[in-house]
């Protein structure tokens, strides 16, 4: 495995980040998880656009133009000969003194890892997963905008612990007003009366790249798809439910808080969107090697 760190390529054993890096000390930084399918990087431009927007929102200046970053990511995939896999692109505030003052970090740290990923066992995609509603709430947009994909994932980890202790694979986080925001690492969709609905960023949902692809594919298939304000009621009475994410792809949800969703099996629209999504990701764009 070859890893890119600040202009250098090194092995996994030699890849080092300073213990004084503010990404480690304070979670000060941004990242993207990006998929490789059939030697194609899925929607790299959209991922980089979101990365640079997140960095700008944090007053974090990425030390290379977006076109150069795209070349670095593509080169990382080529060097690792990755046919199908996962890219983790991280930009931290960089190494500095102790204390949160970002002025103490003269230069951000940039690193790129290309590896394999398996968020859920393959067999769960056929039967769906159990999900619970976590006691951990999404941070209010009045405090921090969910559109910033930052390194600070503590609330998500706490919600994931809630799920694991309840014997579930995933957890839903509500916002402070009790509306559905997102899951620990995924966006959430419900289907009711043929309509596809998903929470909006104003309710705490990340503007996921896979989420965007699902909305696009639904529109192309003639399915009414929209952002909507959802409560647990909307989840419990849904005909279908699934989560989407770069790592998870599209995963059916068949039980929420011990209640079966629909008939307790992955729904027809979920299966249909999964099929067209898989066709899309394996054909969109040009191979990088």
* Residue 122 tokens, joined: 């393959």
Helix (H) or strand (E) holding 279: helix 268-281
Q: How far apart are CA 100 and CA 105, in angstroms?
A: 10
Phi, psi of 22 (to 5 degrees): -70, -15
Catalytic position from the list 104, 130, 149, 160: 149
CB 240 within 8 A of CB 190: yes
Residue-wise DSSP of 170-227: EEEEE-TTS-EEEESSSEEEEEETTEEEE--GGGT----HHHHHHHHHHHHTT--EEE
Q: How far apart are CA 266 and CA 281, in angstroms?
A: 21
Q: Is 149 a catalytic residue?
A: yes
Residues catalogued as catalytic:
149
């Amino acid at each position: 495995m070859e890893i890119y760190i600040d202009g250098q390529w090194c092995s996994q054993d030699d890849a080092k980040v300073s213990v004084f890096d503010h990404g480690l000390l304070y979670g000060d930084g941004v990242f993207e998880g990006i998929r490789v399918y059939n030697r194609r990087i899925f929607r790299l431009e959209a991922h980089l656009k979101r990365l640079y927007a997140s960095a700008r929102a944090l007053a974090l200046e990425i030390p290379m133009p977006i076109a150069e970053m795209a070349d670095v990511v593509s080169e990382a995939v080529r060097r690792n000969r990755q046919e199908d896999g996962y890219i983790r692109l991280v930009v931290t505030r960089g190494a500095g003194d102790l204390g949160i003052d970002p002025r103490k970090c003269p230069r951000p740290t940039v690193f790129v890892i290309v590896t394999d990923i398996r968020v859920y066992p393959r067999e769960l995609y056929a039967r769906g997963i159990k999900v619970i509603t976590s006691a951990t709430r999404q941070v209010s947009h009045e405090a921090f905008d969910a559109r910033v994909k930052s390194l600070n994932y503590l609330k998500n980890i706490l919600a994931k612990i809630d799920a694991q202790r309840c014997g579930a694979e995933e957890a839903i986080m509500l916002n402070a007003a009790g509306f559905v925001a997102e899951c620990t690492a995924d966006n959430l969709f419900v289907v009711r009366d043929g309509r596809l609905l998903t929470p909006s960023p104003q309710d705490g949902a990340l503007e996921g790249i896979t989420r965007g692809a699902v909305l696009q594919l639904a529109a192309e298939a003639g399915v009414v798809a929209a952002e909507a304000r959802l409560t647990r009621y909307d989840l419990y009475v849904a005909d279908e439910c699934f989560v989407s994410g770069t790592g998870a792809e599209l995963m059916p949800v068949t039980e929420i808080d011990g209640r079966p969703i629909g008939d307790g099996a992955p729904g027809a629209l979920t299966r249909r969107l999964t099929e067209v999504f898989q066709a899309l990701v394996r054909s969109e764009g040009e191979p990088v090697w």
